[in-house]
Chains A and B, each alone.
Chain A
Amino acid sequence: SQTIHQWPATLVQPVGSPLSLECTVEGTSNPNLYWYRQAAGRGLQLLFYSVGIGQISSEVPQNLSASRPQDRQFILSSKKLLLSDSGFYLCAWSQREEGEQFFGPGTRLTVL
Protein backbone atom coordinates (compact mmCIF):
# COMPACT_ATOMS: atom_id res chain seq x y z
CA SER A 1 0.00 0.00 0.00
CA GLN A 2 1.02 3.59 -0.50
CA THR A 3 2.10 5.88 2.31
CA ILE A 4 3.16 9.49 2.42
CA HIS A 5 5.51 10.96 4.99
CA GLN A 6 6.22 14.52 5.99
CA TRP A 7 8.73 15.91 8.39
CA PRO A 8 9.13 17.57 10.67
CA ALA A 9 5.66 17.46 12.22
CA THR A 10 6.06 20.83 13.86
CA LEU A 11 8.60 23.59 13.40
CA VAL A 12 9.21 26.97 15.02
CA GLN A 13 11.55 29.24 13.11
CA PRO A 14 12.62 32.89 13.46
CA VAL A 15 11.88 35.43 10.76
CA GLY A 16 14.63 35.49 8.16
CA SER A 17 15.75 31.91 8.72
CA PRO A 18 15.77 29.27 5.94
CA LEU A 19 13.22 26.49 5.59
CA SER A 20 13.28 22.97 4.26
CA LEU A 21 10.26 20.67 4.50
CA GLU A 22 10.43 17.19 3.07
CA CYS A 23 7.79 14.87 1.71
CA THR A 24 8.28 11.31 0.51
CA VAL A 25 5.88 8.79 -0.95
CA GLU A 26 6.23 5.03 -0.73
CA GLY A 27 4.53 2.25 -2.64
CA THR A 28 3.97 4.00 -5.95
CA SER A 29 5.98 5.34 -8.87
CA ASN A 30 5.67 8.45 -11.05
CA PRO A 31 3.19 10.15 -8.74
CA ASN A 32 1.90 13.70 -9.13
CA LEU A 33 3.05 15.61 -6.06
CA TYR A 34 1.58 18.72 -4.47
CA TRP A 35 2.32 21.26 -1.74
CA TYR A 36 -0.57 23.04 -0.04
CA ARG A 37 -0.68 25.61 2.73
CA GLN A 38 -3.50 26.17 5.17
CA ALA A 39 -3.49 29.37 7.20
CA ALA A 40 -5.30 29.29 10.54
CA GLY A 41 -9.05 28.94 10.02
CA ARG A 42 -8.74 28.99 6.26
CA GLY A 43 -9.11 26.57 3.37
CA LEU A 44 -6.23 24.88 1.56
CA GLN A 45 -4.21 26.85 -0.94
CA LEU A 46 -2.32 24.98 -3.65
CA LEU A 47 1.30 26.22 -3.73
CA PHE A 48 3.20 23.92 -6.10
CA TYR A 49 2.65 20.80 -8.12
CA SER A 50 4.97 18.43 -9.94
CA VAL A 51 4.30 15.82 -12.61
CA GLY A 52 7.87 14.50 -12.69
CA ILE A 53 11.46 14.86 -11.52
CA GLY A 54 12.63 18.43 -11.90
CA GLN A 55 9.22 19.60 -13.14
CA ILE A 56 7.69 22.18 -10.82
CA SER A 57 4.74 24.48 -11.41
CA SER A 58 3.96 27.35 -9.06
CA GLU A 59 0.39 28.35 -8.39
CA VAL A 60 0.98 31.61 -6.55
CA PRO A 61 3.99 33.95 -6.38
CA GLN A 62 5.49 33.84 -2.93
CA ASN A 63 8.50 33.51 -0.74
CA LEU A 64 8.70 29.74 -1.21
CA SER A 65 10.16 27.35 -3.76
CA ALA A 66 9.81 23.64 -4.41
CA SER A 67 12.06 20.97 -5.82
CA ARG A 68 11.69 17.34 -6.82
CA PRO A 69 15.13 15.75 -6.82
CA GLN A 70 13.79 12.17 -6.92
CA ASP A 71 10.64 10.55 -8.22
CA ARG A 72 9.02 10.20 -4.81
CA GLN A 73 10.59 13.14 -2.98
CA PHE A 74 9.21 16.67 -2.86
CA ILE A 75 10.87 19.49 -0.96
CA LEU A 76 9.51 22.89 0.03
CA SER A 77 12.08 25.57 0.75
CA SER A 78 12.57 29.18 1.60
CA LYS A 79 15.74 31.24 1.87
CA LYS A 80 14.26 33.74 4.34
CA LEU A 81 11.03 33.09 6.19
CA LEU A 82 8.39 35.78 6.69
CA LEU A 83 5.80 35.95 9.45
CA SER A 84 3.14 35.32 6.80
CA ASP A 85 4.71 31.95 6.00
CA SER A 86 3.26 30.50 9.19
CA GLY A 87 0.69 27.80 8.57
CA PHE A 88 -0.04 24.13 8.12
CA TYR A 89 1.84 22.69 5.15
CA LEU A 90 0.46 19.62 3.48
CA CYS A 91 2.00 17.38 0.87
CA ALA A 92 -0.22 15.22 -1.33
CA TRP A 93 0.18 12.70 -4.14
CA SER A 94 -2.00 11.24 -6.83
CA GLN A 95 -1.71 8.70 -9.63
CA ARG A 96 -1.47 10.29 -13.05
CA GLU A 97 -4.60 8.73 -14.39
CA GLU A 98 -6.79 8.81 -11.29
CA GLY A 99 -8.65 11.55 -9.44
CA GLU A 100 -8.07 11.25 -5.74
CA GLN A 101 -5.28 13.06 -3.95
CA PHE A 102 -3.91 11.52 -0.78
CA PHE A 103 -2.53 13.80 1.85
CA GLY A 104 0.29 13.49 4.32
CA PRO A 105 0.05 14.30 8.03
CA GLY A 106 1.27 17.87 7.54
CA THR A 107 3.87 20.17 9.07
CA ARG A 108 2.78 22.99 11.35
CA LEU A 109 5.15 25.91 10.85
CA THR A 110 5.25 28.88 13.18
CA VAL A 111 7.43 31.82 12.23
CA LEU A 112 8.23 34.15 15.11
Chain B
Amino acid sequence: DAKTTQPPSMDCAEGRAANLPCNHSTISGNEYVYWYRQIHSQGPQYIIHGLKNNETNEMASLIITEDRKSSTLILPHATLRDTAVYYCIVRPFHQGFNKFYFGSGTKLNVKP
Protein backbone atom coordinates (compact mmCIF):
# COMPACT_ATOMS: atom_id res chain seq x y z
CA ASP B 1 0.00 0.00 0.00
CA ALA B 2 1.02 3.61 -0.55
CA LYS B 3 3.31 4.85 2.22
CA THR B 4 3.27 8.53 1.32
CA THR B 5 1.15 11.53 2.26
CA GLN B 6 0.46 14.32 -0.21
CA PRO B 7 -1.91 17.30 -0.17
CA PRO B 8 -4.95 16.57 -2.33
CA SER B 9 -4.60 19.73 -4.40
CA MET B 10 -2.43 22.78 -5.01
CA ASP B 11 -2.60 25.88 -7.18
CA CYS B 12 0.29 27.53 -8.96
CA ALA B 13 0.52 30.59 -11.19
CA GLU B 14 1.83 30.06 -14.68
CA GLY B 15 5.54 30.84 -14.91
CA ARG B 16 6.12 30.42 -11.20
CA ALA B 17 7.81 27.48 -9.51
CA ALA B 18 5.53 24.69 -8.33
CA ASN B 19 6.70 22.99 -5.14
CA LEU B 20 4.90 19.74 -4.42
CA PRO B 21 5.52 18.21 -0.99
CA CYS B 22 5.47 14.56 0.00
CA ASN B 23 5.75 13.00 3.42
CA HIS B 24 7.26 9.52 3.71
CA SER B 25 8.19 9.33 7.37
CA THR B 26 8.40 5.51 7.43
CA ILE B 27 10.74 5.21 4.46
CA SER B 28 13.35 2.46 4.73
CA GLY B 29 17.01 2.69 3.84
CA ASN B 30 16.62 0.76 0.60
CA GLU B 31 13.55 2.63 -0.65
CA TYR B 32 13.68 5.15 -3.45
CA VAL B 33 11.37 8.11 -3.90
CA TYR B 34 9.69 8.29 -7.32
CA TRP B 35 7.51 10.96 -8.84
CA TYR B 36 5.03 10.43 -11.65
CA ARG B 37 2.33 12.62 -13.07
CA GLN B 38 -0.90 11.87 -14.88
CA ILE B 39 -2.47 14.33 -17.21
CA HIS B 40 -6.20 13.84 -17.59
CA SER B 41 -7.15 10.67 -19.49
CA GLN B 42 -3.54 9.71 -20.18
CA GLY B 43 -1.19 7.13 -18.71
CA PRO B 44 1.15 8.22 -15.91
CA GLN B 45 4.43 9.76 -16.96
CA TYR B 46 7.69 9.17 -15.12
CA ILE B 47 9.29 12.40 -13.85
CA ILE B 48 12.22 11.67 -11.58
CA HIS B 49 13.47 9.48 -8.74
CA GLY B 50 16.13 9.57 -6.04
CA LEU B 51 17.50 7.79 -3.00
CA LYS B 52 19.14 10.40 -0.77
CA ASN B 53 20.79 13.01 -2.97
CA ASN B 54 18.93 15.80 -4.70
CA GLU B 55 18.26 15.07 -8.34
CA THR B 56 17.56 17.25 -11.36
CA ASN B 57 16.56 16.49 -14.91
CA GLU B 58 15.00 18.34 -17.80
CA MET B 59 11.55 18.11 -16.25
CA ALA B 60 12.02 18.80 -12.55
CA SER B 61 14.15 18.79 -9.43
CA LEU B 62 13.75 16.45 -6.48
CA ILE B 63 14.80 17.65 -3.05
CA ILE B 64 15.01 14.96 -0.35
CA THR B 65 15.50 15.98 3.27
CA GLU B 66 18.56 14.73 5.09
CA ASP B 67 16.51 12.35 7.24
CA ARG B 68 14.69 11.20 4.04
CA LYS B 69 11.31 11.54 5.72
CA SER B 70 10.01 14.02 3.20
CA SER B 71 10.71 15.33 -0.27
CA THR B 72 9.68 18.12 -2.60
CA LEU B 73 9.22 18.00 -6.34
CA ILE B 74 9.98 21.32 -7.98
CA LEU B 75 8.76 22.36 -11.40
CA PRO B 76 10.84 25.50 -11.94
CA HIS B 77 8.57 27.33 -14.38
CA ALA B 78 5.11 25.82 -14.39
CA THR B 79 3.05 25.97 -17.57
CA LEU B 80 -0.62 25.22 -18.18
CA ARG B 81 0.46 21.84 -19.59
CA ASP B 82 1.82 20.91 -16.17
CA THR B 83 -1.72 20.70 -14.80
CA ALA B 84 -1.96 17.08 -13.70
CA VAL B 85 -2.13 14.72 -10.73
CA TYR B 86 1.35 14.21 -9.27
CA TYR B 87 2.11 10.96 -7.48
CA CYS B 88 4.88 10.50 -4.93
CA ILE B 89 5.80 6.84 -4.46
CA VAL B 90 8.33 5.07 -2.27
CA ARG B 91 9.53 1.75 -3.51
CA PRO B 92 12.21 -0.70 -2.50
CA PHE B 93 14.56 -1.91 -5.16
CA HIS B 94 14.32 -5.64 -5.76
CA GLN B 95 16.59 -7.03 -8.39
CA GLY B 96 14.64 -8.45 -11.30
CA PHE B 97 11.28 -7.07 -10.24
CA ASN B 98 9.77 -3.85 -8.99
CA LYS B 99 6.34 -2.85 -7.80
CA PHE B 100 4.77 0.56 -7.45
CA TYR B 101 1.84 1.56 -5.31
CA PHE B 102 0.04 4.68 -6.50
CA GLY B 103 -1.98 6.66 -3.96
CA SER B 104 -4.29 9.59 -4.57
CA GLY B 105 -1.60 12.12 -5.46
CA THR B 106 -1.76 15.91 -5.59
CA LYS B 107 -3.85 17.64 -8.22
CA LEU B 108 -1.77 20.58 -9.41
CA ASN B 109 -3.77 23.36 -11.03
CA VAL B 110 -1.61 25.78 -13.00
CA LYS B 111 -3.52 29.00 -13.57
CA PRO B 112 -2.84 31.76 -16.10
Contacts and interface: CB of A to CB of B under 8 A. Distances in A.
B100 A43 contact: no
Contacts of B96: 51, 96-97
Interface stretch (A14-22, A67-75, A101-109): A101-109
A56 interface: no
Contacts of B98: 32, 94, 99, 101
Q: Contact residue range for chain A? A: 20 to 34
Main secondary structure of the interface of B (DSSP, over half): loop
A84 B72 CA distance: 35
Given A43-B103, A46-B100, A96-B97, A90 B34 contact: no
A92 B99 CA distance: 11
B26 interface: no
A44 interface: yes
Given A43-B2, A43-B87, A99 B43 contact: no
Interface in B62-93: 87, 91, 93
- The list of the 6 closest CB pairs from A to B, nearest first, reads A103-B43, A44-B102, A100-B46, A43-B102, A103-B44, A43-B104
Interface of B: 2, 32, 34, 41-46, 49, 87, 91, 93, 95-105
Interface of A: 32, 36, 42-46, 49, 51, 88, 90, 92, 94, 96-97, 99-106, 108
